Structure 1
Amino acid sequence: MALRLALKVDVDTDRGTREGVPNLLADLADVNAPACFLFSLGPDQTGRAITRVFRPGFFKKVSRTSVVQMYGVRTLLNGTLLPAPHIGRRNAAVMRAVRDAGHEVGIHCYNHYRWQDYVQKMTLAEVREEFLAARAEFLRIFGHEARTAGAAGWQSNERSREVYDEAGLLYASDARGAYPFFPRVNGRVFKTLEIPSTLPTFDELIGRAEFPDERIVPHYLSLLRDDRPNVFTLHAEIEGMGKRGLFQALLTACRNAGVEFIRLDELAQRLLEERGKLAVCDQMQAEIDGRSGQLAVQAV
């Protein structure tokens, strides 16, 4: 079976939307690769994420990934010393350009900081309100409801899964895992198909002694499997800005290796045609090497 790779782009910030997204559109066009762009649609309160300093591994990650260089000082002050720009209102034209270029578009979140840092503490009503705000902004920008979503910071639970089911999504991509599945959380099985990220992200590898930049592309190629789809989550602020050259090198290497770039929505449609063959797996919270805190993980 051919190597198949799906690209999922998390767009977290105002600057990432304005600068990183157009860069990625150009780079993807160079290799004729489709991607799924998931947008943060409300206020950019990135600066408030300083509260994560109390999470295990946070300082280690920050020192490795040069957060200030990647995101910029302005972004890291948004929502604290500087007003929080509203991403959807400021960047609707950029978002529509992604759709017009033939890529899939979906919801990352409304308020990235609020979802990533507080969704585990929110009530069902609060989670629903947050996701409804994202759905409304997506509808305003694109003129139709979103068919997919991928949670900020891979933060997912039974309440967010219930809200996804209510929205009638085609699929979601909230977890880290090995293969597509229907998620079971606290004994309850949800109907929205989950297509998890299967590969590590750039920011989980860069800056580590064992992964100098020249080893990262070969490492990714070594991880690709031919018996199931590979899903790589990238970030507009990293692969589209701070590490753009490295991502360009990865795209070129994949093309030269004969990797087939696939769309996540088309993959989901094919999988759902044979729904009976799809596994039900528990979704749990666990740590991932190179990332601080816990996130949604497929139990396999």
Structure 2
Amino acid sequence: MPLLTLKIDVDTYRGTREGVPGLVRMLARHGAGATFLFSLGPDHTGWALRRALRPGFFQKVSRTSVLEHYGLKTLMYGVLLPAPDIGRDCAAEMRAVRDAGFECGIHTWDHVVWQDNVRHRGSDWTARQMQQAFQRFSEIFGVAPRTHGAAGWQMNAHAFSQLDALGIGYASDGRAALTDDGGLAEPGIGPHRLSVNGKALSCIQMPTTLPTLDELLGRTIAGVVITPANIADFLLGLTADGRDHVYTLHAELEGQKLAPIFDQLLAGWKAQGYRLGSMADYNGSLDRASLPVRPMQWGVLPGRSGELIVS
């Protein structure tokens, strides 16, 4: 039975408070496993407005209704409103996810700071950001984290090495390269280890293999405009291949306004014969000794602005 790994990025205070509980209930209703990756420090979402000069930013914003999904208050955090400390204020909500039987891991310390800066930062800055997240996670859950998924699929060589230093066994920090129609550019892509500066690292990388909802909505693919009415069918068409996949969703999207679409996807994947599980489930199914070693590299994906880690 193929595995559809569900990786849930929780970027914001609002997503943690409002999106996560709904996702927990929906997943439980479908008997699905998943991994929740939490932002553990301040919510500086308002600082993301500086991305307005980035190529493709306005196209993405106009297609995905950032204001509708994130809310005006969230977009003011760090600008006109103080940034709430997500890990301090939402620790109970995070522990409730664990208590409901779901795997929890690290997304980042400060989502906007990491996403906008990590590519060009050095080892000391990178280690400080990651150690803050590691310490906060350990304080909240009473155990060290086992998994990680980078904010915005942004990393650097120091960050990948730091995963090994922190004892992170498996992560999903990058993306599989996709064609314009959402399919895999390299059909055989899957879990692997990374080679960074000539050294093969221990941490297993499990790249996201499917496009995200915000990358698809509003685009025209093969002459068809992708809308909330047809997007679930489109994604289910991509998983009809019956191979293992990793799907990244967001508490701010699938956990709120786009929840009905995610409900359709869960039902559709079960009908296709998929087992819906966590990153831990995927990791447990792998033969580490047989995994390929691939170089760290950057690339672009259809529907997303800027470069990110791509396999």
Give the alignment's TM-score, normalised by structure 1: 0.95
Q: Is the 8 A contact 2:10 2:251 kept in 1?
A: yes
Aligned to 2:93: 94
Aligned to 2:297: 284
Question: Is 1:201 equivalent to 2:215 in the alignment?
Answer: no
Paired residues for 1:33-52 under 5 Å:
33-52=32-51
SS in 2 for 1:184: strand
Q: Is the 8 A contact 2:120 2:156 kept in 1?
A: no
Identity %: 47
Q: Is the 8 A contact 1:157 1:185 kept in 2?
A: no
Aligned to 2:112: 113
Q: Is the 8 A contact 1:31 1:252 kept in 2?
A: yes
AA aligned to 1:83 is: P
Q: Distance in 2 between matches of 1:25 and 1:139?
A: 21
Structure 2 CA distance for partners of 1:10 and 1:205, relative to 1, 3 Å: same
User: Which of the pair is proportionally richer in helix?
Assistant: 1
Give RMSD over aligned pairs: 1.3
Q: Is the 8 A contact 1:128 1:163 kept in 2?
A: yes
Structure 2 CA distance for partners of 1:225 and 1:257, relative to 1, 3 Å: closer
AA aligned to 1:281 is: R
Q: Distance in 1 between matches of 2:270 and 2:285?
A: 23
Aligned to 1:223: 238
Paired residues for 1:139-178 under 5 Å:
139-177=138-176, 178=189
Q: Distance in 1 between matches of 2:285 and 2:64?
A: 37
Aligned to 2:250: 235
SS in 1 for 2:202: coil
Where do 5+ consecutive residues of structure 2 fail to align? 177-188
Of 171, 188, 208, the residue aligned with 2:199 is 188
SS in 1 for 2:256: helix
Paired residues for 1:250-261 under 5 Å:
250-261=265-276
SS in 1 for 2:297: strand
SS in 2 for 1:39: strand
Aligned to 1:248: 263
Could you tell me how far 1:111 is from its partner in structure 2?
0.4
AA aligned to 1:290 is: G
Q: Is the 8 A contact 1:53 1:59 kept in 2?
A: yes
Where do 5+ consecutive residues of structure 1 fail to align? none
Q: Is the 8 A contact 2:7 2:278 kept in 1?
A: no
Structure 2 CA distance for partners of 1:227 and 1:69, relative to 1, 3 Å: closer
Q: Distance in 2 between matches of 1:259 and 1:214?
A: 23
Q: Distance in 1 between matches of 2:116 and 2:138?
A: 25
Could you tell me how far 1:45 is from its partner in structure 2?
0.1
AA aligned to 1:183 is: L
Q: Distance in 2 between matches of 1:233 and 1:75?
A: 21
Q: Is the 8 A contact 1:4 1:226 kept in 2?
A: no
Q: Distance in 2 between matches of 1:258 and 1:225?
A: 10
Q: Is the 8 A contact 1:179 1:228 kept in 2?
A: no
SS in 1 for 2:33: coil
Q: Distance in 1 between matches of 2:88 and 2:64?
A: 29
Q: Distance in 1 between matches of 2:100 and 2:257?
A: 23
Aligned to 2:278: 263
Deviations 1:231-260 (A, max 9, x none): 000000000012111111111222233221
Aligned to 1:25: 24
Q: Is the 8 A contact 1:9 1:236 kept in 2?
A: yes
SS in 1 for 2:139: helix
Farther off after superposition, 248-257 or 60-69:
248-257
AA aligned to 1:262 is: G
Q: Distance in 1 between matches of 2:155 and 2:61?
A: 23
Structure 2 CA distance for partners of 1:175 and 1:99, relative to 1, 3 Å: same
AA aligned to 1:101 is: A
Q: Distance in 1 between matches of 2:36 and 2:102?
A: 7
Q: Distance in 2 between matches of 1:121 and 1:258?
A: 43
Q: Is the 8 A contact 2:19 2:251 kept in 1?
A: yes
Q: Distance in 1 between matches of 2:169 and 2:83?
A: 31
Q: Distance in 2 between matches of 1:191 and 1:158?
A: 14
Deviations 1:154-195 (A, max 9, x none): 001211001111011110110002300001234332211101
Number of equivalences:
295
Paired residues for 1:51-66 under 5 Å:
51-66=50-65
Q: Is the 8 A contact 1:185 1:284 kept in 2?
A: no
